[in-house]
């Protein structure tokens, strides 16, 4: 089995890899996540996931040189955004006011959560960039419930200012698609493609 480098420090992504029997090397990608103007939800997450994977590949090759194909590790990177028609892409909030705006946008309606994933074997030409999307329906929230949620630490490092697997879960009415896409790591799809890469 190849060693895996996870280009993320997300506790949830690390936990999901370990629950599947993997012990990845954790190397968060240090990249500028500014998106090109007018980019689509699909292109945005695929662009950022690949950008992260390529940054980690570059660092790996600089430190280790080009490995032979059989011994090279597999780099996995992912990126997630929330998208709402009429409002566009929502990444991580810049602060409480921004988080409040995002929660008010998704309260009482549905939105899409998209995750892009990139798989690279350093120095090898073949690479995979995946796209997954799930529709999420949120219950109507009162101003008091929103402020109570904003008092927690949860919203501030999450796309769309919420975590479906966390405190916010009680406000989720239903979802259509893969739960793990909303968490930010559609692991079944990722592992299926990883097998194709060997």
Catalytic (active-site) positions:
79
**Sequence-ordered strand ranges (E) for 57-152:** 74-84, 88-90, 110-120, 127-138
* Residues 6, 26 contacting (CB under 8 angstroms): yes
For residues 64 and 56, is the Cβ–Cβ distance under 8 A? no
Neighbours of 106 (CB within 10 A): 23
Burial class (CB in 10 A: 0-12, 13-18, 19+), 191: middle
From the list 55, 97, 89, the residue with the least C-alpha distance to 75 is: 55
Burial profile 32-46: b = 16 or more Cβ within 10 angstroms, e = fewer: eeeeeeeeebbebbb
Quote the DSSP letter at residue 125: S
Beta bridge partners of 90: 82
Q: How far apart are CA 55 and CA 109, in angstroms?
A: 37
């Amino acid at each position: 089995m190849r060693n895996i480098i996870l280009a993320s420090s997300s506790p949830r992504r690390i936990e999901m890899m370990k629950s599947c029997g993997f012990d990845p090397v954790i190397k968060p990608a240090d990249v500028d996540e500014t998106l090109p103007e007018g980019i689509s939800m699909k292109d945005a997450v695929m662009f950022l996931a690949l950008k992260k994977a390529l940054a980690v590949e570059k660092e790996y090759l600089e430190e280790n040189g080009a490995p032979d194909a059989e011994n090279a590790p597999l780099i996995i990177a992912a990126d997630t955004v929330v998208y709402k028609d009429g409002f566009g892409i929502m990444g991580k909030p810049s602060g409480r006011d921004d988080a409040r705006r995002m929660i008010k946008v998704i309260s009482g309606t549905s939105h899409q959560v998209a995750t892009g994933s990139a798989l690279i074997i350093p120095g090898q030409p073949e690479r995979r960039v995946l796209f997954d999307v799930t529709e999420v329906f949120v219950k109507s929230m009162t101003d008091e419930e929103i402020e109570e949620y904003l008092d927690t630490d949860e919203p501030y490092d999450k796309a769309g200012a919420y975590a479906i697997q966390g405190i916010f879960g009680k406000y989720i009415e239903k979802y259509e698609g893969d739960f793990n896409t909303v968490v930010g790591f559609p692991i079944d799809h990722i592992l299926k493609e990883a097998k194709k890469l060997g």
